[in-house]
Structure 1
Amino acid sequence: MVELENNGEFRSLKGLFGWMNLYFRNCHDSLKPCILYLPIFPRNYLIRRRRLVRRWIAEGYSRDSHDESAEVNGEKQFHDLLDLSIIQQPFALGLGDTRMISCQVNGFFREYIVSRQMEENLMFELSGSSALTTQRTGRHLLISEGWVRDRTVFGSIDFSRLRSLTVFGKWKSFLFSESMKLLRVLDLEGASEVEYSDLKKMVKLMRRLKFLSLRGCHEICHLPSSIGGLRQIQTLDVRHTSIVTLPLSIAKLEQLQYIRAGTNKAPAKRAQTSANHHLVYKVSNYCGGRQLVGVEVPPGIGKLTALHTLGVVNVSASGTEAFLEELKELTHLRKLGVSGISKKNSNKFILATSDLVHLESLSVRLENNSGSCLDDSIPLPLLNLRSLKLYGLGNRLPNWNLQLAMLAKMDLEIAKLTEEDYAFPPLEGVRITPDGKKESTKGVIKILSELPRLCILRLRVHHLQDNVLDVSVITNDLEEDSFEKVKMFEIACSSSSKVTFGAKTMKHLEQLKVDCCSGSFLFGLKHLDELKEVLLKGSSYSDQALKTYLTRKLQNHPKSKKPALKLEELPSRC
């Protein structure tokens, strides 16, 4: 950076450096620490938006104001940096009000910020073969994946001012110190070989923690009961660990705002914990022969009235009646994820959510053989819902579409689509409700097309009748304009399928993701005028025939700048 700024050969960059220097001098006090914080994440690293904002809150960079919560102010700061191109979307979709899941730090800005870090004495990094030096000090320590894990170097550092510890790659037992008593952020997301014994020691020592993430630490099977002593903690992320039960002491953490737990992965073999030798399932668990995707929460969860994010909770494993009564007390919830919904508890669950007037995001996973439990359920009384995920449906959608006018994002997993759902033209029929009334029915595609603000649609189908899916809406033998605001569409099928896009559907689609079995074909791509890229993932990733087919189709696309065909190498963010 110094060379670029001072060497006359790069005088063309003088204006850019002048703007950056002026901006940093005049940058608002609330935004500057957020910017200087960004190099904690490695170059080209995909950062989850919520992870970054929650860390800002824990550090005190995003705070409550008279009118807005710290969460809202953090989101505003995030978008300020996005507008300045200091952070960027990995794929530039025009998603409007729909929040992106992840971002990257602009590489040039990151190097400039790193050069400023030396002046501010904020962040320091251990990487490569770090030598012994007395100059390593600061508030935020980053341990990179490539660091050689030198115990002597680590032991020479003064941690008395340390506020955050972030570890990438392999964890070692010596990577924490008794002098880290002022630590606010402990972020071990994705770190390997994290041991329960170390976690227990850290929780006991670091009583000022506000942010704890063990996300992706598969070795961790349970949380120590001493976690109840972290009275200042606001964020707890144990998603994609082997934890299936939250401890009783969690009910003491009255400042908790954000709990993420559970996993989408299939269960693996049993493993024995070194702590108490009781048998647990690695990664997931089974309850009565059914996969337990969410976690069991203890009594008292209703005391955590500051919670605005909670999930994934297994309702049936958590004592349905007791949990749903306590759920009604969490009136500030904005994001809720549940599993274990069945015919026995579906209506009670929907009634319990009717008090959650601020809810914006809801994820529901049905128990095995409960795919029809929402068919005749009462309408979902959540008019502010912007994101809805329904997993494990049978062959119908619940009759909620009139309550989903604000919905921008929908994930749908359905067992079967029949002729009624995708026929050309789509069929509408009549069915008899449990109270003896006649009710008109519509196909799934027709219902989805009527959601006025839908921007992101993910559709997973386990069985297609005749292996055909036609994404079109036909009325009186004429095709209607449909899915007019959809920018991202993901289709996943469990068998080889023929997916067809009509001439008037998804005209503003920019990104198409495909996860279909070998032998699948996509027709009508030429109608997708604004298509920028097609991503192959899952089963489609290794299907050479599909790659060749799509390459030819996209090369012949009528758009002047041909859509790109890519392979999705990154894991999905949940």
Structure 2
Amino acid sequence: MDTVGSTNDRFMHTLETNPEYDSLRGLFGWMYSYFRNCPDSLKPCIFYMSLFPRGQSVRRRRVVRRWVAEGYSRDSEDKSAEQNGEKFFSNLLDLSIIQYPPQVVTATSGDRMMISCSVNGFIREYIVSRRMEENLVFELEGSCDITTQRTGRHLIIRESWDRDKIVFETMDFSKLRSLTVFGRWKQFLVSESMKLLRVLDLEDSSGVEDADLGHMLKQLRRLKFLSLRGCGEIQHLPSSLGDLRQLQTLDIRHTSIVKLPGSITKLHKLQYIRAGTSVKAHESSTPCVSVPKLDRRRCQDGVMVPGRINKLTALHTLGVVNISTSGGNSILKELKDLTQLRKLGVSGINRRNSEKFSSAISGHVHLESLSVQLDKDSGIVLPSKTLQSLKLHGPVEKLPVLNIGELSKLTKLDLEMATLTENDIKLVDSLPQLCTLRVKLLQDSRLKFCITDSGSGLELPSYQKVKVLEIASCSSLDVTFGANTMRSLELLNAQCGSGSSVTFSGLENPTELKVVSLEGCCSDELKEEVERQLAQHPKNPVLKVEEAPVST
């Protein structure tokens, strides 16, 4: 076992130097040339990917926003730093340095529908073996001895590290630009000597509390990227947040924070705010499913924002903002001034404020993604011709008015409703570029994806460009595919909550179907029936089953 451990620790060194592996020399020569010929602007991004654990998926947006904060991706004459970062990300995909997760499809426009990625395992080991040559990255894991050699620009604290304070306090942080913590947080992990720190990434770290946050912000005044995503024990942001005048990215998604402090309006360089909480269908906060593991504070729809939020004119991503709270009408007026917004999420839209909300976003010519949580019997008008992604969530019984001519670029539609009527299905079918459709229904329903000609009664081709269909149910749901519907469908995902049920018919009709994925509380009868139908499919799609986690 000692030999195995030593080989794992020096995997690439062993392959390159041990005579037993001389046959691999050509491969390593090719890899050296491969990296050497990469554009200089891309090389830092390649080495950066080794910061994330082996075999773990990482969100695309997290990577890109970190590159922007680090200065690896900068503004150019015709593109923003984030747009250039997205281009770098695509380049790494093309080079196979990062990989698609399972079940990724290609949109009709050629764009890959990807939220997360993973680093190619072999290439990651090669990167790790080279990064130490430049003192770029150092990490703490297991039980570490005191050494003066731990220094660099990026510090990674692995979940396995024993949190030895003495080891930590002997380290040199004078060149440190980023700190990433996996696992347990300890207050001593922030040091006064981290004066140049740009990135503090605590996503999904445990044990981070309000007092810890106040301690951090007093010492890390040069932060450009702050992620507390998934730190559920944090309930408040301190007013000292306003002292982070260089801050560009603030991610507090899936925390217990329900209100942003007034001092946030001092952060004129802030571009990206993500807040609020969302859960999967089988973890839903709707009455049909209990969620004992989620604190009630975390089941809120959005956060309250302070007045004068319109001073943050650099914002291009904002959400989720709760409009139904006191001062909501003032926030809607200020929303008009945030004309650079590309992605917006709001909750609390009702009959009293829906018209004002529609007016507030009418001039947002850059808006590409919109998420709206509707109260019952409310509706909105969507005037933006630039929308590519739309989410409409709420206990409404019919779709709001969709002007199809104004939604000609829409490729993703996410609906959560009481039910979806036959007219709604026809309306959605008329979206010309729709590629991804997500539907969650709260009442007993039938989804019949089949459009017939009113004169002849013959079935018409429908949903011809849809490649991803995700369905969730809180009750009983019957899904039928017509003979001429969803011929391009590649991925079908069904999520079942506790006490709900889903049935399918016509699964042989989507001729390009590759994967059927069942998640949550799916019965044995459903699995057997899906297997029977897929056995009749000409391309033998794969069935994947992911059981819901058992509550304790």
Pairwise same-fold verdict (TM > 0.5): yes
Offset at residue 130 of structure 1 (A):
2.0
Deviation at 1:98, TM superposition (A): 5.1
Query: Counterpart of 1:491 in structure 2: which amino acid?
Result: I
Contact 2:413 2:438 in 1 (8 A): yes
Judged with a 3 Å threshold, the aligned counterparts in structure 2 of structure 1 residues 534 and 68 are, in CA distance, closer, same or farther, namely same
Which residue in 2 is equivalent to 1:354?
Answer: 362
C-alpha deviation, 1:19, in angstroms = 2.9
CA distance in 2, matches of 1:550, 1:134: 59
In structure 1, distance between residues paired with 2:486 and 2:213: 49
Q: Any stretches of 5+ residues in structure 2 without a counterpart?
A: 1-11, 287-293
Separation (CA, whole Å) in 1 of partners of 2:427 and 2:23? 55
Partner of 2:291: none
- Partners of 2:396 and 2:52 lie apart in 1 by 42
Q: Does 1:94 align with 2:106?
A: yes
Question: Over residues 493-520 of structure 1, what are the superposed CA-to-partner deviations in whole Å (9 max), with x where a residue is unaligned?
Answer: 2223321111111111111101236553
- Counterparts of 1:127 and 1:161 in 2: how far apart (Å)? 20
Mean Cα displacement is larger for which, 16-25 or 150-159?
Answer: 16-25
SS at match of 2:441: strand
- Matched ranges for 1:150-229 at <5 A: 150-229=164-243
> Aligned pair in 2 of structure 1 residues 47, 154: CA closer, same or farther (>3 Å)?
same
Q: Give the 3-state SS of the residue equivalent to 1:529 in structure 2.
A: coil
Whole-angstrom CA distance in 2 between matches of 1:555 and 1:128: 48
Distance 1:187 1:354 in 2: 35
Distance 1:261 1:537 in 2: 26
- After TM superposition, give the deviation of residue 535 of structure 1 in Å: 1.2
Partner of 2:244: 230
Cα 1:519/1:380, change in 2 over 3 Å: closer
Unpaired runs of at least 5, structure 1: 269-280, 286-290, 422-442
Q: Give the Cα–Cα distance (whole angstroms) in 1 for the partners of residues 451 and 285 of structure 2.
A: 39
| C-alpha contact 2:15 2:21 (8 A) present in aligned 1 | yes
Partner residue in 1 for 2:397: 395
Contact 2:178 2:200 in 1 (8 A): yes
Aligned equivalent of 1:480: 460
SS of residue matched to 1:165 = strand
For 1:527, what is the secondary structure of its paired residue? coil
Give TM-score, length-normalised by structure 2. Answer: 0.90
Alignment counterpart, residue 70 of structure 2, candidates 29, 47, 59: 59
Offset at 1:5? 3.4
* Aligned-partner residue type, residue 399 of structure 2: L
Structure 1 residue 11 displacement after superposition: 5.6
In 2, are the aligned partners of 1:192 and 1:217 still within 8 Å (CA)?
yes
Q: Which has the higher contact order (CA 8 A, sep 6+)?
A: 2
- Choose from 524, 530, 548 the match for 1:544: 524
User: Which residue matches 2:344?
Assistant: 336
Displacement of 1:570 in angstroms is 10
**Residues 355/565 of structure 1: CA separation in 2 closer, same or farther (3 Å cut):** same
Residue 321 of structure 1 and its aligned partner are, at CA, apart by 2.1
Match among 69, 73, 76 for residue 80 of structure 2: 69
1:451 to 427, 431, 437: 431
Q: Over residues 326-379 of structure 1, what are the superposed CA-to-partner deviations in whole Å (9 max), with x where a residue is unaligned?
A: 111111000000001000000100110011110000000013xx2x221xx4x4
Note if contact 1:98-1:455 (Cα within 8 Å) is conserved in structure 2.
no
Superposed CA RMSD in Å reads 2.0
For residue 566 of structure 1, give the secondary structure of its aligned residue in structure 2: strand
Q: Which amino acid aligns with 2:521?
A: S
User: 1:82–1:283: structure 2 CA closer, same or farther, 3 Å change rule?
Assistant: farther
After TM superposition, the structure 1 = structure 2 runs for residues 12-411 of structure 1, keeping only pairs within 5 Å, are 13-91=24-102, 92-95=104-107, 96-97=110-111, 99-264=113-278, 282=295, 284=297, 292-317=300-325, 319-367=327-375, 370=376, 372-374=377-379, 377=380, 379-400=381-402, 401-411=404-414
Residues 207 and 11 of structure 1, relative CA distance in 2, 3 Å threshold: same
1:512 aligns with 2:492: yes
The CA deviation string for residues 202-261 of structure 1, in whole angstroms up to 9 with x for no partner, is 101101100000001011001010010000000000011000000000000000000001
Distance 2:235 2:138 in 1: 31
Q: Paired residues, what number? A: 519
TM-score by structure 1 length?
0.87
Deviation of residue 6 (structure 1)?
Answer: 4.4
Tell me how far apart the structure 2 counterparts of residues 203 and 347 of structure 1 sit (CA, whole Å).
40
